[in-house]
Chain A
Amino acid sequence: DGGITQSPKYLFRKEGQNVTLSCEQNLNHDAMYWYRQDPGQGLRLIYYSQIVNDFQKGDIAEGYSVSREKKESFPLTVTSAQKNPTAFYLCASADLVTEAFFGQGTRLTVV
């Protein structure tokens, strides 16, 4: 089955801890994105990548980091510098001319 897989579905982070969210796609898409969604809110772009080994900051990149070593993978690290990380994180991929496809999300909670 082609699609985007995010893991884990639920993640708990202690204060001061870095955590990494996984995103893998087998759609052969060039572009990949990370969005943050707060309760009742829209989608805010954290980082995006249009090609392997290259990525760009989105609107709310502070406290986050990414890598794109493989076309299929775009992991997001939530660092201790992100002071309010509790949110629903969505990964998406797209070819370069049409629609984006989303994963099922990771819900991150600070404990």
Chain B
Amino acid sequence: QQQVKQSPQSLIVQKGGISIINCAYENTAFDYFPWYQQFPGKGPALLIAIRPDVSEKKEGRFTISFNKSAKQFSLHIMDSQPGDSATYFCAARGRNYGQNFVFGPGTRLSVLP
């Protein structure tokens, strides 16, 4: 129940295309869902985050869509650029004070020029 599933494992997209990464969870106690972007040899950096009281959050070319009833959330990268090539991790955190993070296994995105 603590697991966060993430798909696909890897993704290849042409420049200008839309990249979509999906995550699913079982634990209904999760109430905070951040996405991280990691470049090779670097630490993950927070990209965007959402709580389940909203269905969508957009920051620039990055959008999180959240479906509370299906317990699924996804990251959409519009107008994908070669500089977006990185590994993306979804994560979840429980609503109780001080809960740990549960990370998905990651998606390696390659955007072709």
Contact B101 A104 (CB under 8 A): no
Closest to A50 in B: B98
Contact B105 A97 (CB under 8 A): no
Contact B32 A97 (CB under 8 A): yes
- Measured in the bound complex, the distance between the Cα atoms of B97 and A96 in whole Å is 6
Looking at chain B's contact residues, the main secondary structure is strand
- Measured in the bound complex, the distance between the Cα atoms of B42 and A6 in whole Å is 11
| B100 on interface, CB distance cutoff 8 Å | yes
B44 is contacted by which of A6, A41, A48, A90 (Cβ under 8 Å)?
Answer: A90
Contact B98 A105 (CB under 8 A): no
With a CB–CB cut-off of 8 A, which chain A residues contact B20?
none
Q: In the assembled complex, how far is the CB of residue A49 from the closest CB belonging to chain B, in whole angstroms?
A: 11
| A100 on interface, CB distance cutoff 8 Å | yes
A99 is contacted by which of B32, B41, B98, B105 (Cβ under 8 Å)?
Answer: B32
- Measured in the bound complex, the distance between the Cα atoms of B38 and A40 in whole Å is 11
Contact A103 B43 (CB under 8 A): yes
A-side interface size class: 20 to 34
Given contacts A50-B98, A96-B97, A96-B98, contact A105 B103 (CB under 8 A): no
Given contacts A42-B89, A43-B89, contact A100 B101 (CB under 8 A): yes
| A64 on interface, CB distance cutoff 8 Å | no
- Measured in the bound complex, the distance between the Cα atoms of B98 and A48 in whole Å is 11
Contact B43 A31 (CB under 8 A): no
- Measured in the bound complex, the distance between the Cα atoms of B100 and A33 in whole Å is 9
With a CB–CB cut-off of 8 A, which chain B residues contact A100?
34, 46, 91, 101
- Measured in the bound complex, the distance between the Cα atoms of B36 and A4 in whole Å is 16
Closest to A88 in B: B41
- Measured in the bound complex, the distance between the Cα atoms of B43 and A1 in whole Å is 17
| A45 on interface, CB distance cutoff 8 Å | yes
Can you list 16 residue pairs at the A/B interface with Cβ under 8 Å?
A: A33-B100, A43-B44, A43-B103, A96-B98, A97-B97, A98-B32, A98-B93, A99-B46, A100-B46, A102-B44, A102-B45, A103-B43, A104-B43, A105-B42, A105-B43, A107-B41
CB-CB nearest 8 A-B residue pairs: A102-B43, A42-B105, A96-B98, A99-B34, A104-B43, A43-B103, A102-B44, A50-B98
